[in-house]
Amino acid sequence: MNDENYPVVKKSIPTFYFIGVTTGKSSIMKVFPLWMKVLGLEDVVMEGVDCKIHDVPEVYRKAVAQIKYDPLSLGALVTTHKIDLLTAARDMFDYLDPYAMITDEVSSISKLEDRLEGHAKDPITSGASLDAIIEKDYFGKTHGDVLCFGAGGSAIATLLHLINKKDKGDRPDKFTFVNRSQGRLDHAMEMVRGLKTDIEIEYICNSDPEINDKIMEQFPPYSIIINATGMGKDTPGSPLTWAGKFPMNSVSWEFNYRGELDFLHQSLAQVESRKVKVEDGWLYFVHGWTQVVAQVLHFDLTPALFDKLNEVASSVKGV
Ligand SMILES: NC(=O)c1ccc[n+]([C@@H]2O[C@H](COP(=O)([O-])OP(=O)(O)OC[C@H]3O[C@@H](n4cnc5c(N)ncnc54)[C@H](OP(=O)(O)O)[C@@H]3O)[C@@H](O)[C@H]2O)c1
């Protein structure tokens, strides 16, 4: 029992949790055992914890208590609930890394000696994925902007990555968030207020797909259009309608790689007509998971080891 009397299960085998929405459907369930083999840690098992979107604080506190108070509960990767979980359980952490402090979210829960640690890995992992999608000096060369549907943890992390780019050509002139509710926009605004940036940031509260189409159509060619809403995986549909026109030569980046992926299919339909380059969230998935697994299991994620883990993961993609 812990100080709040949450019922902690004493695990008999080392357990790594995945706190998400539909965790059983994630490729990580197939990938994780393969990675443990590569790492020589076959005794570590993965357990999914499915929470509702914007679940009640007790659900998040119970999940954190399990890791904090059970010795063989090693840590967790958190998706979708990164902000809500930290809001509910901030006082249970002994350490938060600088990105977690700036973004008010955690995607990694780990333990170091007696400390429960929270890290926000998304600025690193969404950033590593974006760097693989666009070349150096992309914004300097193309003058594209960024339009991001959703202003949750992963969307904010992507902006943070761009703000931190040293060279002007690697930063867009403008980054626009469109979010369903005002709360997340206020949260993003609050984060940006504490940072120095020359990127113009626009905050639009909207969930009407027809209005989103009109917003997107005003973006310049080569812009990056992101679906960070979870629509098409966590919830049905897309933030756009099928009539929405992607900017010419734009990059359409769907953060997910599984589900109905309506947004991805909408952009795939414009590959020929509007020269849209389409990316899904697979590389983001591999970067995200390898970073957190390394943090929880305490190993050095060298580029060679990343390549090996990526190769093993790709062998079961879509299987
Ligand atoms: N490939 C990967 O490894 C990877 C990594 C990170 C994230 N993702 C995926 O990316 C998605 C977002 O992740 P997250 O952590 O940022 O989740 P999140 O914190 O829940 O953010 C989602 C945001 O989208 C907003 N939203 C929902 N429907 C909308 C709509 N129709 N129009 C505009 N905004 C809308 C939500 O608004 P409200 O505030 O109103 O709810 C919320 O702020 C998830 O599906 C996640 O699985 C994938």
CB 127 within 8 A of CB 206: no
Q: What is the CATH code for 124-280?
A: 3.40.50.720
Q: Which helix (H) or strand (E) holds 46?
A: strand 45-50
Q: Note if the pTM is more than 0.95.
A: no
Strand arrangement of the beta sheet that strand 73-78 belongs to: 45-50, 15-20, 73-78, 108-112, 115-119, 95-96
Q: Is domain 15-120+283-314 given the CATH code 3.90.650.10 in the classification?
A: no
Region(s) of the chain under CATH 3.40.50.720:
124-280
pLDDT above 90 for 7: no
d(CA 270, CA 264): 10
Residues 12-30: tens digit of each pLDDT: 999 999 999 999 999 999 9
d(CA 311, CA 254): 21
Give the confidence band of 1 by pLDDT, cuts at 50, 70, 90. Answer: low
Region(s) of the chain under CATH 3.40.50.10860:
15-120+283-314
d(CA 26, CA 234): 12
Q: Report the separation in Å between the CA atom of 139 and the middle of ligand 1, taken as the mean of its atom positions.
A: 25
Give the confidence band of 306 by pLDDT, cuts at 50, 70, 90. Answer: very high
Substitution candidate for ligand 1 out of 18, 55, 154 with most atoms within 8 A of CB: 154
CB 308 within 8 A of CB 34: no
Q: Report the separation in Å between the CA atom of 114 and the middle of ligand 1, taken as the mean of its atom positions.
A: 32
**Which atom number of ligand 1 is nearest to the Cα of residue 285?**
3
Residue 252: φ, ψ to 5°: -100, 120
Give the confidence band of 103 by pLDDT, cuts at 50, 70, 90. Answer: confident
Q: How high is the pLDDT of residue 319?
A: 66
Q: Report the separation in Å between the CA atom of 102 and the middle of ligand 1, taken as the mean of its atom positions.
A: 18
In this structure, the residue with its CA closest to atom 26 of ligand 1 is 229
